[in-house]
Amino acid sequence: MNTIELHKDTSFDVNKLREQFPILNQSVNGKPLIYLDNAATNQKPLSVINSISNYYETINSNVHRGLHTLSERATEAYEASREKVREFINAKSANEIVFVRGTTEGVNLVASSFGKANINEGDEIIVTEMEHHSNLVPWQNLCREKNAVLKYIPVNDEGELILDDLENLITEKTKIISVVYISNTLGTINPVKKIIETAHRHNVPVMLDAAQAAPHLKIDVQNLDCDFLAFSGHKIYGPTGIGILYAKEKFLEDMPPYQFGGEMIKSVSYEQTVYNELPYKFEAGTPNISGAISLGAAIDFINSTGLEVIADQEKKLFDHAMNRMKEIGGIRFIGTAKEKASVISFLLEDIHPYDTGSILDNLGIAVRTGFHCTQPLIEQRFKLPGTVRASFAVYNTTEEIDIFAEGLKKVKQMLA
Ligand code: 7TS
């Protein structure tokens, strides 16, 4: 193969990739669907969809139980997927990967289990002003139950964390810091490694909400040295109802179980129970087997497409969208951090976000409007009624963004 052919083979063809996403090929409200709500959930390639039906057509069976062949096959596929997740985030051991429902359950598990064992009256927990509700409400609730204090790392007008005071925010009472890696509302990529280094100098463990990071950048938990990390399958081209919690083994060993029942036990008598080894101690009940297996298929999709290719395409889409949107005039961007992912939150003139969203929907364009599950950030920090949010995935095209920009012009003509 000569170099020209080689180049042709490796170049990214978005239209070819789109053939793997049947949902994109449809009309909505009489217009071709333009799906720009990828931060909420992205669409699934055929390989993921097929892996779900393939599981039920060929090996459906409960895991870790039967000695029979199907159960062994299901268990093997389930555990192979755990290994894929381990590799995906470069964890030391598959024992550190717990299958959960998603990011929300991952945070709840840590708040509930680590919280029960380690948080006492007067202790402090630190989050940021830009947390998704799922990395805020569990900690708020824990603090209420334990009479502990929740502190916030502030956000500047550009939507970046103000870290100058972090050293002062951390005290002897700080028991854990939990931070969003990439903000779903602002798109800010937070300097989490720096936060982790600072926290560790004070012996404080750090949890990362990687719901928006997992689809966009390479996560290396050993390099980051984070103590806990969670993400959701449905934001990395996988199914809903499955996600993972990563935690360093030393924490998982010491933490009490989160839920109790089958799977999480080694032996049970009428008097007492011996808990199972890791990670099963945290996986009570029949798990989402098909979900876990097709999460593995989603990781295969990302690996075969290439995280770098995905990041390049998203950067191209983001830059193109920013240029087109700036041409329109009258758009206020919320979140203009230097380090940003492919998420654009904005307001068009003084038009209510819901009105902009509805008109775009009539044009077949799906965006999200409102608080994006970050109500304190939008309402209290930025004093806004909500924003419109466009978020891009690898299968979006610059032509779609041109239509989106024309749609915004139409909204402006109609309502400004
Ligand atoms: N953390 C972040 C940063 C998120 O963006 C989300 C979901 C979650 C946590 C919760 O993930 P789940 O899978 O457990 O629900 N974010 C969004 C969004 O931006 N629009 O809809 C869901």
pLDDT digits 0-9 by tens, 265-288:
999 999 999 999 999 999 999 999
Atom number, ligand 1, closest to the C-alpha of residue 185: 19
Answer yes or no: is 3 within a domain: no
**Beta-carbon contacts of residue 320 (< 8 Å; ≥ 6 apart):** 398, 401
Say yes or no: 186 and 94 in one domain.
Answer: yes
* Angle value at C-alpha 377, between 414 and 172, nearest 5 degrees: 170
CATH number assigned to the domain comprising residue 20: 3.90.1150.10
CB 317 within 8 A of CB 342: yes
Nearest Cα neighbor of 34 from 279, 287, 350, 367 is 367
Say yes or no: 114 and 210 in one domain.
Answer: yes
Write down the pLDDT at residue 232.
98
DSSP reduced 3-state for 33 = coil
Quickly count: other Cβ atoms within 10 Å of residue 375's Cβ: 13
Integer Cα distance of 331 and 238 in angstroms:
33
Amino acid at site 280: Y
**Domain boundary at 260, 281, 303, which?**
303
Say yes or no: 280 and 349 in one domain.
Answer: no
User: Measuring from atom 6 of ligand 1, which residue has the nearest CA?
Assistant: 211
Atom number, ligand 1, closest to the C-alpha of residue 235: 13
What is the tens place of the pLDDT at every residue in 100-125? Answer: 999 999 999 999 999 999 999 999 99
Q: Buried (b) or exposed (e) across 61-87, using 16+ Cβ within 10 A?
A: bebbeeeeeebebbbebbbebbebbbe
Say yes or no: 19 and 166 in one domain.
Answer: no
Answer yes or no: is 351 within a domain: yes
Of the candidate ranges 50-59, 65-74, 80-89, 143-152, the one whose mean pLDDT is the lowest: 65-74
Mean pLDDT of 169-194: 98
Answer yes or no: is 295 within a domain: yes
* Domain around 290: 49-303
Answer yes or no: is 369 within a domain: yes
CA of 65 to the centre of ligand 1 (A): 33
Say yes or no: 71 and 173 in one domain.
Answer: yes
Q: Which of 99, 184, 209, 242 for a ligand 1 pocket mutation test, highest count of atoms within 8 Å of Cβ?
A: 184
**Cα-based distances in Å from 141 to 66, 113, 144, 259, 354:** 39, 13, 5, 18, 30
- Ligand 1, CB within 6 Å, residue ranges: 39-40, 102-104, 132, 134-135, 180, 184, 209, 211-212, 232, 368, 372-373
CATH number assigned to the domain comprising residue 290: 3.40.640.10
Answer yes or no: is 395 within a domain: yes
What is the model's pTM?
A: 0.97
Integer Cα distance of 268 and 261 in angstroms:
10
Q: Which of 180, 232, 295, 377 for a ligand 1 pocket mutation test, highest count of atoms within 8 Å of Cβ?
A: 232
**Beta-carbon contacts of residue 244 (< 8 Å; ≥ 6 apart):** 85, 97, 98, 99, 100, 106, 230, 231, 233, 295
What is the tens place of the pLDDT at every residue in 11-58? Answer: 899 999 999 999 999 999 999 999 999 999 999 999 999 999 999 999
Q: Is the pLDDT of residue 7 over 70?
A: no
Write down the pLDDT at residue 66.
74
What are the start-end ranges of the E strands in 55-202? 97-100, 124-128, 149-153, 174-180
What are the start-end ranges of the E strands in 288-340? 331-334
Mean pLDDT of 82-87: 98
**Cα-based distances in Å from 39 to 91, 185, 358:** 25, 9, 18
Q: Buried (b) or exposed (e) across 357-374, using 16+ Cβ within 10 A?
A: bebbbebbbbbbbbbbbb
Q: Is the pLDDT of residue 61 over 90?
A: yes
Name the DSSP class of 137. Answer: H
What is the tens place of the pLDDT at every residue in 183-198? Answer: 999 999 999 999 999 9
Write down the pLDDT at residue 11.
81
Write down the pLDDT at residue 319.
98
Write down the pLDDT at residue 29.
97
Specify the number of domains making up the chain: 2
Mean pLDDT of 198-225: 98
Answer yes or no: is 294 within a domain: yes
CA of 40 to the centre of ligand 1 (A): 6
Say yes or no: 213 and 265 in one domain.
Answer: yes
Write down the pLDDT at residue 10.
58
Mean pLDDT of 149-169: 97
CA of 130 to the centre of ligand 1 (A): 12
Q: Is the pLDDT of residue 2 over 50?
A: no
- Based on the residue annotation, tell me whether 226 is a catalytic residue of this protein: no
Query: Which residue in 210, 252, 373, 388 is the catalytic one?
Result: 373
Q: Is the pLDDT of residue 8 over 50?
A: no
Write down the pLDDT at residue 9.
45
Say yes or no: 80 and 159 in one domain.
Answer: yes
Say yes or no: 275 and 173 in one domain.
Answer: yes
Q: Is the pLDDT of residue 5 over 60?
A: no
* Angle value at C-alpha 341, between 409 and 151, nearest 5 degrees: 110
User: Measuring from atom 17 of ligand 1, which residue has the nearest CA?
Assistant: 40
DSSP reduced 3-state for 100 = strand
Say yes or no: 144 and 188 in one domain.
Answer: yes
Write down the pLDDT at residue 392.
98
Q: What is the CA radius of gyration of the chain?
A: 22
Say yes or no: 29 and 57 in one domain.
Answer: no
What is the tens place of the pLDDT at every residue in 350-395? Answer: 999 999 999 999 999 999 999 999 999 999 999 999 999 999 999 9
Half-sphere exposure (CA, 13 Å, Cβ side) for 12? Answer: 18
Q: Which of 101, 109, 127, 134 for a ligand 1 pocket mutation test, highest count of atoms within 8 Å of Cβ?
A: 134
Answer yes or no: is 9 within a domain: no
User: Measuring from atom 22 of ligand 1, which residue has the nearest CA?
Assistant: 40
Write down the pLDDT at residue 6.
43
User: Measuring from atom 15 of ligand 1, which residue has the nearest CA?
Assistant: 104
**Domain boundary at 303, 324, 344, which?**
303
Average pLDDT, the chain: 96
**Domain boundary at 251, 286, 303, which?**
303
